[in-house]
């Protein structure tokens, strides 16, 4: 493995764009040297040593050792660790206002699928999922009867007759 005198090639007077707080960087983290670091910009590698605000990164592929300020790398492993700790279920999205849905798989006849597609294209139904849900609900309520308390369980009775 070669040694790269990277400090002399980095313009440390210029602060890096954007930013990830580098505290929490660990040995073994997968990183990318930012393009604003000039030399070796865009190089991906693995952190081999953390010494204060400086990292020793082993470049992927050629094994070149690069010494770089921690503020000049994007740390993919650190980002993943932080996301795992917070583990948001719906990051950046507003809470659902409509009833919950569950994924289901059905095998439809090709002709039925084509008819659904044509109905959407002609604007007769807004989308296949809503139409199939509505039609199934209507038939199941007819079979089970509207007086069956479990027929509308889970939707609070919020359905279109």
Sheet strand arrangement including 73-75: 3-4, 65-69, 54-59, 44-51, 30-33, 73-75
CATH topology for 3-86? SH3 type barrels. (2.30.30)
Report pLDDT digits (tens) over 134-145: 999 999 999 998
Q: Hey, where are the domains in the chain?
A: 3-86, 102-161
Q: What is the DSSP letter of 45?
A: E
What DSSP string describes 136-152? HHHHHHHHH-TT-TTTT
Asked whether the whole model's pTM tops 0.85, one would answer no
How far apart, in Å, do the first and last CA atoms of the chain sit?
73
Q: What is the pLDDT of residues 7-49, one digit of tens each?
A: 434 444 444 445 566 678 999 999 999 876 667 888 999 999 9
Give dist(CA 135, CA 149) in Å, integer.
Answer: 19
């Amino acid at each position: 493995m070669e040694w790269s005198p990277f400090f002399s090639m980095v313009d440390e007077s210029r602060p890096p764009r954007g930013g990830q707080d580098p505290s929490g960087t660990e040995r073994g983290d997968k990183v990318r040297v930012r393009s604003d670091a000039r030399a070796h910009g865009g190089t991906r590698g693995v952190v081999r040593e953390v010494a204060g605000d400086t990292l020793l990164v082993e470049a992927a592929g050629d094994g070149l050792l690069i010494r770089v300020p921690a503020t000049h790398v994007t740390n993919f492993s650190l980002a993943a660790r932080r996301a795992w700790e917070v583990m948001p279920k719906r990051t950046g999205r507003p809470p659902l206002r409509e009833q919950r849905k569950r994924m289901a798989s059905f095998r439809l006849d090709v002709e039925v699928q084509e008819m659904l597609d044509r109905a959407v294209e002609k604007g007769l139904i807004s989308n296949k999922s809503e139409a199939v849900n509505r039609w199934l609900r209507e038939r199941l309520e007819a079979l089970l009867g509207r007086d069956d308390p479990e027929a509308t369980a889970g939707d609070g009775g919020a359905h279109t007759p």
